[in-house]
Structure formats: C-alpha cells, structure tokens
C-alpha cells in the first residue's frame, strides 16, 4: 500500500482501464519470466519496520503527521494509523559485514526517530501489538491522511457488501470484536524481511520462505495481548488475516499463507493476483508497461505472508525479491537483525536441499506448523520430515545448524554469524521471546498494560536482546 494516490473514489471506467493495463503488463511479465529478463545479481537483504507512537502514559499518540514533518527523513514514512510509522533501510549485500551494516543503519534511524519523538513528548515502541491499545483507538478518525488508506477501506467494505468485520479467537482469554472498517490492521505491526533473489531459483526461495515461516514466528513471537486480553503468542497473525478479509465476497483471502507451494514459476503468483483478486486501487499511470506500475500497485494490496516483489536496480534492470512478512516488530534492534540472520541462513540452506524438501515437508505441514507457532510460540508442537518436535527443540537441534551453514555459504562474516545466531540460540534455550517476557511480566499480578509498556520501553532503550531481559 505504499503507492500514494490522488483520489479515494473511482469510476467503473477507472477499474476497466486499470484491468486492461494490468493484463498488458502481465503479458510482458510472462515474457520476462520465460526469457529470464530479471537481474542476475548477488543476494541483497533489506527490511521494513512498523512501530507505534505513544504518549507519556504509553497510550497511542495519533501524531505521525507532525512527527514525520519534524523528523524529515525519507526512510521513515506513514502507516495506516496516525499512531504508526514505518522505518526503511538501504539494502545491503549479504556477504561479509552485511548484517552489521543493516544493524548500524537501522540503529541510526531508530535513534534519530526516538530523539525527535522525545522532543515532542512522545516515545516509539517496536512491538507486535501495543498492549495499551483499546478498541476505540482503531477508528476512522485515527486513519492516516494518505488517500490510499481511505480508498482501501472503502473498497474492502464495498466488497463485503457493507458487512462488518468480525474478529474472534477462543484460545486463553478469548476475544470477539466487530469493526466497520479496516483499522483492526493498525493494531498489527511487523518487521518485513526482504531478500533479493536470482530468477532461476526464485521458486525455491519462495517455497523455503514458507517452510521457514513457522520457526520465524515461534522464535520471534511478540504479540500476546490485544485489548488487554491474553490470546495467541503471535496474535498479529490471525488479526491481520481478519482485518482486511472480504470473506465469501472474494476469490481468496487477501492475507493468507496460501494453498500450495509454487511449482513452475513465480509468474504464477502474479497471474493469480490478477485473476483471483479484485482491484482495490485502480490508479492509472502514464508510465510504459515495462515499469510495471499497475502490477506493483495491485500486488501491494495482496498481503500473502510470503510475497514476491518486482523492483528495480539502480541501473533500471528489473529484479525479484521475496518479502517475508510473518515476523512481528521488536523487541529491540539487535533482536530484529538476529531474526534476519536466522532467516537468511536458514532459507539459504533450505534452498540447497530443494527440491526434496517440499516432499519431505508437505505444504499442509508447513501451513499447520505456521499456525501452531503463532498460537503457542516456542512451545508449539510441529512436524519436520514426519517427526514431531517442540519448536524450540527443532530450532536448536536442526534449524540453527542449517542457518549457520547457510550464512557461511553466503559469505557472512563469522563474527557476525556467531553474534546474531547466538542470540537466536539463547532465545530458544531460555524460551524467552517477546511474547513470553510480556506474559511473565504480567503473571506477577497487580500490573497494568501501561506498566508493561513502561518496562518494555525501558528494556528496549537499553538495547539488550530480549532473552536477557529480567522480569
């Protein structure tokens, strides 16, 4: 949804013309895939980090417009709500000190943003779901000023025939809430990991990213509370899936794990986007089809947990990226980079084991593992090559050795690999990720969600990885 638009209401002719241009680009895109027209460059990594702005009481502060104007940094931009912002970083080549450079870049931008926020009497939290958030905060009045968000909201509700969005979970405290807009999505903030891939093995990285989703969610879980209720370890997963759902009025859900691995070409994903999903933002561009503006805009309104992206190199050559979306924001910058290291190393080795791995781990196992990890975090029971594991044991015994080997294959500096994967190892051994720390803090009794956020912010600012946080 990053592409801004000039209006939020559209005519039937807008939709017809957009579809025509989308088909024209799809025909060209099919040629690009069949003729291998994408850049054959080395792997690069990048990220998008969504965060929450809060006031002195750790309540949502709907002031991102004023904050972004004061910060004046193109790497920090609007998000759906007025109390969310998004951090971006310059991509780095995944070799040598690439992970350290990603770390330094995010740390620099984060500290600049915190300084600006403090000057406004505000704070910024990187956390999957803000514990102090209340249902009433997720209202149209707190929607960011960008017209694209209003248009998304109008089109989703139009496709739902005006039927409200119901969100219900039964695990632990349980919850049931009804919304008449898409602002539920603003409760969910994530850390989206990007990986630039070569086209000939894009399918393998896409499928490997799906297989890696369960361990990534389990090791990084940081969203146990919504509206004061203890729910899933990573409540953000079902929340986001429901927040923009159009249910039976759509061919497929717009936030989904999917229904199968990709077998032939990543083009199939873009083809499915055009054929199965109604257009939400029919903004028309004058650019030639080679720019893929309509394809990229439409692709940006379908939020698969693993999503292929078409980008451009500095020389203008088109490239392919895999966007891995299941990881929540937080708890600290170093935790986020550790998550990236684990993902890049693990996926690299899963790709090396392809194609056998998609047979060893059937799609339904990868999907079920994902939702079990979202429910139970590191204590989830998952299936790997027909054998059951506690997820934390699978990480320690099987996946971390693969990730270490994968980072060696990429040429990542050994000190970086040991440092960042050491954080993942300690997190798995201790069983303490963001979700378990939040629950342990509240288990003492007599504490409010404001107390939780205050303690969380104090530890976040110290910068220690979450497995070292005291209760």
Domain CATH for 259: 3.30.590.20
Q: For residue 326, what pLDDT band results from cuts at 50, 70 and 90?
A: very high
What's the average model confidence in pLDDT over 193-201?
Answer: 93
44 phi and psi, to 5 degrees? -125, 150
Q: Is residue 470 part of a domain?
A: no
Q: For residue 1, what pLDDT band results from cuts at 50, 70 and 90?
A: very low
Name the burial class of residue 163, with classes exposed (0-12), middle (13-18) and buried (19+) by CB atoms within 10 angstroms of its CB: middle
**251, pLDDT greater than 70:** no
Please check whether residue 84 is in contact with residue 52, taking contact to mean a CB–CB distance below 8 angstroms: yes
- What pLDDT is attached to residue 314? 87
Region class of 227: left (phi > 0), else alpha (psi between -120 and 50), else beta: left
Domain containing 340 equals 12-465
What's the average model confidence in pLDDT over 342-361?
Answer: 94
**Strand pairing category for 229-230 and 225-226:** antiparallel
d(CA 361, CA 383): 8
- What pLDDT is attached to residue 249? 43
Q: Is residue 231 part of a domain?
A: yes
What's the average model confidence in pLDDT over 325-347?
Answer: 98
Please check whether residue 358 is in contact with residue 261, taking contact to mean a CB–CB distance below 8 angstroms: yes
Q: Is residue 40 part of a domain?
A: yes
What's the average model confidence in pLDDT over 421-432?
Answer: 98
- What pLDDT is attached to residue 157? 87
**247, pLDDT greater than 60:** yes
The region of weakest confidence among 44-48, 153-157, 401-405, 465-469 is 153-157
- What pLDDT is attached to residue 248? 53
Q: What is the pLDDT of residues 128-174, one digit of tens each?
A: 999 999 999 999 999 998 888 888 888 888 888 888 999 999 999 99
d(CA 347, CA 349): 5
Helix (H) or strand (E) holding 82: none
Q: Is residue 97 part of a domain?
A: yes
| Mean pLDDT, the chain, whole residue set | 94
**451, pLDDT greater than 50:** yes
**113, pLDDT greater than 70:** yes
Q: What is the pLDDT of residues 266-282, one digit of tens each?
A: 999 999 999 989 999 99
Residue 355: is the preceding peptide bond cis (ω within 30°)? Answer: yes
**329, pLDDT greater than 60:** yes
**372, pLDDT greater than 50:** yes
d(CA 291, CA 3): 14
- What pLDDT is attached to residue 132? 98
Exposed e or buried b per residue across 43-82, where buried means at least 16 C-beta atoms within 10 angstroms of its C-beta: bbbbbbbbbbbbbeebbbbbbbeebbeebeeebbbbbbbb
Name the burial class of residue 364, with classes exposed (0-12), middle (13-18) and buried (19+) by CB atoms within 10 angstroms of its CB: exposed
Q: Is residue 5 part of a domain?
A: no
Q: Is residue 91 part of a domain?
A: yes
Q: Is residue 7 part of a domain?
A: no
What is the number of structural domains in the chain?
1
Interaxial angle between packed helices 98-119 and 414-430, expressed in degrees from 0 to 180 and rounded to the nearest 10:
60
What's the average model confidence in pLDDT over 12-24?
Answer: 96
What's the average model confidence in pLDDT over 62-87?
Answer: 97
Q: Is residue 471 part of a domain?
A: no
Closest CA to 1 of 217, 120, 150, 101: 150
pTM score, two decimals?
0.96
**Percentage above 90 pLDDT, the chain:** 85
**4, pLDDT greater than 80:** no
- What pLDDT is attached to residue 467? 98
- What pLDDT is attached to residue 158? 86
* Count of C-beta atoms within a 10 Å radius of residue 295: 21
Q: For residue 125, what pLDDT band results from cuts at 50, 70 and 90?
A: very high
């Amino acid at each position: 949804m990053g592409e801004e638009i000039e209006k939020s209401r559209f005519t039937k002719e807008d939709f017809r013309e957009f579809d025509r241009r989308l088909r024209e680009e799809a025909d060209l895109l099919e040629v690009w895939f069949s003729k291998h027209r994408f850049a054959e460059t080395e792997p690069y990594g990048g990220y998008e980090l969504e965060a929450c702005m809060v006031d002195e009481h750790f309540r949502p502060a709907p002031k991102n417009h004023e904050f972004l104007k004061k910060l004046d940094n193109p790497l920090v931009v609007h998000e759906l709500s007025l109390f969310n912002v998004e951090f971006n970083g310059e991509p780095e080549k995944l070799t040598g000190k690439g992970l350290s450079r990603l770390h330094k870049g995010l740390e620099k931008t984060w500290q600049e943003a915190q300084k600006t926020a403090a000057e406004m009497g505000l704070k910024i939290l990187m956390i999957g779901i803000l514990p102090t958030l209340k249902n009433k905060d997720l209202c149209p009045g707190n929607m960011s000023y960008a017209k694209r968000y209003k248009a998304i909201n109008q089109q989703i509700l139009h496709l739902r025939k005006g039927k409200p969005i119901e969100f219900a979970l039964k695990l632990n405290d349980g919850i049931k809430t009804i919304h008449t807009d898409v602002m539920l999505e603003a409760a969910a903030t994530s850390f989206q990991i990007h990986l630039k891939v070569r086209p000939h093995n894009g399918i393998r990285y896409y499928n490997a990213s799906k297989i890696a989703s369960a361990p990534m969610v389990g090791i990084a879980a940081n969203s146990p509370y919504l509206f004061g209720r203890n729910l899933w370890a990573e409540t953000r997963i079902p929340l986001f899936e429901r927040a923009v759902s159009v249910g039976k009025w759509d061919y497929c859900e717009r936030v989904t794990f999917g229904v199968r691995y990709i077998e032939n070409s990543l083009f199939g994903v873009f083809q499915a986007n055009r054929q199965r999903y109604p257009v939400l933002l029919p903004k028309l561009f004058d650019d030639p089809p080679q720019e893929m503006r309509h394809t990229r805009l439409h692709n940006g309104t379908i939020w698969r947990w693993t999503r292929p992206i078409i980008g451009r190199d500095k020389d203008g050559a088109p490239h392919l990226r895999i966007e891995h979306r299941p990881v929540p924001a937080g708890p600290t910058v170093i935790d986020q980079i550790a998550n990236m290291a684990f993902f890049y190393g693990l996926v690299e080795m899963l790709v090396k084991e392809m194609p056998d791995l998609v047979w060893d781990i059937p799609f339904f196992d990868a999907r079920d593992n994902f939702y079990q990890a979202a429910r139970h975090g590191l204590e989830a029971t998952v299936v790997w090559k027909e054998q059951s594991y506690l997820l934390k044991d699978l990480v320690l015994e099987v996946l971390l050795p693969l990730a270490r080997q994968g980072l060696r294959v990429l040429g990542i500096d050994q000190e970086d690999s040991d440092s960042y994967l050491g954080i993942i190892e300690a997190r798995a051994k201790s069983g303490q990720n963001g979700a378990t720390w939040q629950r342990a803090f509240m288990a003492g009794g007599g504490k409010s969600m404001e107390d939780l956020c205050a303690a969380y912010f104090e530890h976040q600012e110290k910068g220690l990885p979450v497995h070292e946080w005291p209760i």
